[in-house]
């Protein structure tokens, strides 16, 4: 039974959308296509750039959107999940959708959503696409929710498809092996539409290429289209030289740090190059890159002591975060506060975290199904000494104690989920 819907009431509308989560994840395009058809197919009113992958999707989307905005285009951005507020998922020119506009859509579409038995993500995707039409965007940059082939966003026919690095995640839905997962991600490719592939494991690149050829997609490889050389990296930014086509940009200040963010930047700039739009000049591209704001990616929450927050939520996402901190602070022992969602791939994560050398604090994500701390510890102790692992069943108390005990010269990494943001951000509100 869906909760009652009060006309124009934001809380009522959000409660209705969240109530759809009980339907779980149901892959398939029939419901979203029918809902979009009843809405008059809003996805056909603008050009879309569709981005799939395991990690780096959000950052890649953020860079593409920022560059397009810097060129004066009106740009919709659809990503998930949010950090603090639902509205963050749907943006136009980096401004989140207003509560009133979200509630208006839910009121207009409520009966159709119920009749078609739509899931939370299907309803939210339709909301985003309808909102982008209303706001008359030129481009919409759309992040796949999960997989690709049967994800609700795949109801769109884009001008460009993008696949960021692929790793093991959501294996209960997408398959146990990397090639199986890669096939699902490659399912966003459309006949005659360029499909840009980011750096991938050598074992799956041929799989993706073959799938694209079988389905008429146009294979494009980001490392062949864009070269980036990092000149310098600090805890706040990296300075890079970029070469693509006949163009070069020297000394670009990129606000996202780490080798993995270089991969994401390369993919985003290759995507921009493939669009072949005259307005996207080198200086416009520079301005867009330097203006990127994407919270939760090795975001500094405190200077002294130095505290980072990253939304990396699986083995594939946390490893590069660890490598980046080791590059920045090779002589430092770095403490970690870790909580992971129940379905996330974390086996052998201890091999990576062990290199940071500091105490590992384990807890759970408030209000979300998490890996129990005892299970997480049992895996980590295979590679980390027991006396370096501390368990806390009350996340707020454990984190407060960890922060209170930090000395000014120490470093803390908070990592494991987007859903840690409501716990973390209020503590550092003055610094964000």
Measured over the CA atoms of residue 255, residue 256, residue 259 and residue 261, the dihedral's sign is negative
Task: Give the residue-averaged pLDDT of 140-158.
Answer: 94
Judged against a pLDDT cut of 60, whether residue 173 lies above it is answered with: no
The string of pLDDT tens digits covering residues 43-83 is: 999 999 999 998 899 999 999 999 999 999 999 999 999 99
In percent, the amount of the chain with pLDDT more than 70 equals 95
Strand 306-310 to strand 299-302: parallel, antiparallel, or no bridges (unpaired)?
antiparallel
Q: What pLDDT score was predicted for residue 285?
A: 98
DSSP 8-state code for residue 370 = B
Task: Give the residue-averaged pLDDT of 148-176.
Answer: 82
Cα 243 from chain centroid (whole Å): 25
Single residue among 259, 290, 321 that ends a domain in this structure: 290
Q: What pLDDT score was predicted for residue 25?
A: 76
Q: What pLDDT score was predicted for residue 4?
A: 55
For residues 198 and 320, membership in a common domain is answered with no
Q: What pLDDT score was predicted for residue 2?
A: 59
For residues 204 and 335, membership in a common domain is answered with no
Q: What are the strands, taking DSSP E only, across 151-298?
A: 160-163, 194-197, 218-221, 226-233, 238-244, 247-254
Residue 170's pLDDT band (cuts 50, 70, 90): very low
Structure tokens at 5: 């819907």
Tell which wins on pLDDT, 408 or 170.
408
In a domain, 104, yes or no: yes
Single residue among 233, 265, 290 that ends a domain in this structure: 290
For residues 262 and 305, membership in a common domain is answered with no
Q: What pLDDT score was predicted for residue 128?
A: 98
Task: Give the residue-averaged pLDDT of 231-245.
Answer: 97
Assign residue 28 a region (left: φ > 0; alpha: ψ between -120 and 50; beta: otherwise): left
Strand 75-78 to strand 90-92: parallel, antiparallel, or no bridges (unpaired)?
antiparallel
Judged against a pLDDT cut of 50, whether residue 172 lies above it is answered with: no
For residues 105 and 39, membership in a common domain is answered with yes
For residues 400 and 320, membership in a common domain is answered with yes
Give the CATH number for residue 87.
3.40.1190.10
Q: What pLDDT score was predicted for residue 353?
A: 96
Task: Give the residue-averaged pLDDT of 256-281.
Answer: 97
Q: For residue 276, how many other CB atoms are within 10 A of its CB?
A: 8
Give the CATH number for residue 329.
3.90.190.20
For residues 90 and 176, membership in a common domain is answered with yes
User: CB–CB of 234/329 below 8 Å?
Assistant: no
Quick check: helix, strand or coil at residue 240? strand
DSSP collapsed to 3 states, 342-362: CCCCCCCHHHHHHHHEEEEEE
Q: What is the spatial distance between Cα 325 and Cα 316, in angstroms, rounded to a whole number?
A: 16
Q: Taking the model in full, what pTM does it have?
A: 0.94
In a domain, 42, yes or no: yes
Domain around 276: 10-290
Task: Give the residue-averaged pLDDT of 289-317.
Answer: 95
Q: What pLDDT score was predicted for residue 432?
A: 59
In a domain, 1, yes or no: no
The count of structural domains within the chain is 2
For residues 274 and 330, membership in a common domain is answered with no
Judged against a pLDDT cut of 70, whether residue 217 lies above it is answered with: yes
What is the residue-wise DSSP string for 373-385? Answer: HHHHHHHHTTTS-
Which residue, among 294, 301, 259, 323, has the nearest Cα to 412 in the 3D structure? 301
Task: Give the residue-averaged pLDDT of 232-241.
Answer: 98
Q: What is the spatial distance between Cα 209 and Cα 216, in angstroms, rounded to a whole number?
A: 11
Which residue, among 380, 387, 260, has the nearest Cα to 324 in the 3D structure? 260
Give 17's strand partners.
none
Judged against a pLDDT cut of 60, whether residue 395 lies above it is answered with: yes
Which residue, among 12, 118, 123, 114, has the nearest Cα to 78 in the 3D structure? 123
For residues 336 and 230, membership in a common domain is answered with no
The string of pLDDT tens digits covering residues 349-382 is: 999 999 999 999 999 999 999 999 999 999 999 9
In a domain, 410, yes or no: yes
Q: What is the spatial distance between Cα 129 and Cα 144, in angstroms, rounded to a whole number?
A: 13
Structure tokens at 378: 């049992």
In percent, the amount of the chain with pLDDT more than 90 equals 80
Tell which wins on pLDDT, 201 or 235.
235
The string of pLDDT tens digits covering residues 6-21 is: 556 889 999 999 999 8
Judged against a pLDDT cut of 60, whether residue 171 lies above it is answered with: no
Judged against a pLDDT cut of 60, whether residue 174 lies above it is answered with: no
Judged against a pLDDT cut of 90, whether residue 125 lies above it is answered with: yes
Q: Give the containing element (helix H, strand E) for 412.
A: strand 411-415
Q: What pLDDT score was predicted for residue 392?
A: 94
For residues 63 and 157, membership in a common domain is answered with yes
Measured over the CA atoms of residue 82, residue 13, residue 28 and residue 125, the dihedral's sign is negative
Give 218's strand partners.
194
Give 306's strand partners.
411
Tell which wins on pLDDT, 122 or 28.
122
For residues 178 and 280, membership in a common domain is answered with yes
Q: What pLDDT score was predicted for residue 167?
A: 80
Q: What pLDDT score was predicted for residue 24?
A: 74
In a domain, 5, yes or no: no
For residues 324 and 194, membership in a common domain is answered with no
For residues 171 and 45, membership in a common domain is answered with yes
Q: What pLDDT score was predicted for residue 177?
A: 81
Q: What is the spatial distance between Cα 149 and Cα 50, in angstroms, rounded to a whole number?
A: 12
């Amino acid at each position: 039974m869906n909760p009652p819907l009060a006309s124009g009431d934001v809380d009522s509308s959000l409660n209705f959308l969240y109530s759809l989560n009980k339907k779980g994840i149901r892959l398939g395009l029939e419901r979203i296509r029918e809902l979009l058809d009843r809405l008059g197919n809003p996805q056909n009113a603008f050009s879309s750039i569709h981005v799939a992958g395991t990690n780096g999707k959000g950052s890649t989307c953020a860079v593409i959107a920022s560059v397009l905005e810097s060129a004066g285009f009106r740009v919709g951005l659809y990503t998930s999940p949010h950090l603090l507020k639902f509205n963050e998922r749907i943006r136009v020119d980096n401004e989140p959708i207003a509560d009133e506009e979200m509630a208006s859509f839910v009121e207009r579409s409520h009966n159709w959503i119920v009749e078609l038995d739509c899931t939370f993500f299907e309803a939210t995707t339709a909301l985003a696409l309808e909102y982008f039409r209303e706001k008359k965007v030129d481009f919409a940059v759309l992040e796949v929710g999960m997989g690709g082939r049967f994800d609700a966003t795949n109801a769109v026919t884009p001008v460009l498809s993008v696949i960021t690095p692929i790793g093991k995640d959501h294996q209960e839905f997408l398959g146990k092996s990397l090639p199986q997962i890669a096939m699902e991600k490659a399912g966003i490719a459309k006949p005659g539409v360029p499909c840009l592939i980011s750096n991938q494991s050598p074992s799956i690149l041929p799989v993706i290429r073959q799938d694209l050829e079988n389905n008429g997609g146009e294979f494009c490889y980001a490392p062949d289209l864009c070269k980036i050389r990092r000149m310098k990296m600090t805890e706040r930014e990296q300075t890079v030289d970029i070469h693509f086509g006949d163009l070069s940009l020297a000394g670009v200040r990129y606000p996202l740090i780490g080798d993995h963010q270089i991969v994401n930047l390369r993919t985003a700039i290759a995507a921009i190059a493939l669009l072949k739009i005259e307005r996207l000049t080198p200086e416009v591209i520079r301005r867009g890159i330097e203006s990127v704001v994407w919270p939760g990616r090795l975001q500094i929450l405190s200077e002294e002591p130095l505290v980072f927050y990253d939304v990396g939520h699986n083995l594939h996402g946390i490893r590069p975060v660890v490598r980046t901190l080791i590059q920045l602070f090779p002589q430092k022992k770095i403490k970690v506060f870790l909580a992971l969602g129940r379905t996330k791939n974390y086996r052998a994560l201890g091999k990576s975290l062990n290199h940071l050398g500091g105490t590992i604090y384990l807890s759970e994500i408030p209000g979300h199904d998490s890996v129990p701390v005892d299970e997480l510890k049992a895996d980590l102790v295979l590679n980390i000494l027991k006396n370096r692992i501390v368990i806390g069943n009350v996340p707020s108390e454990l984190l407060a104690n960890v922060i209170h005990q930090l000395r000014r010269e120490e470093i803390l990494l908070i990592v494991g989920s987007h859903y840690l943001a409501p716990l973390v951000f209020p503590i550092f509100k003055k610094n964000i």
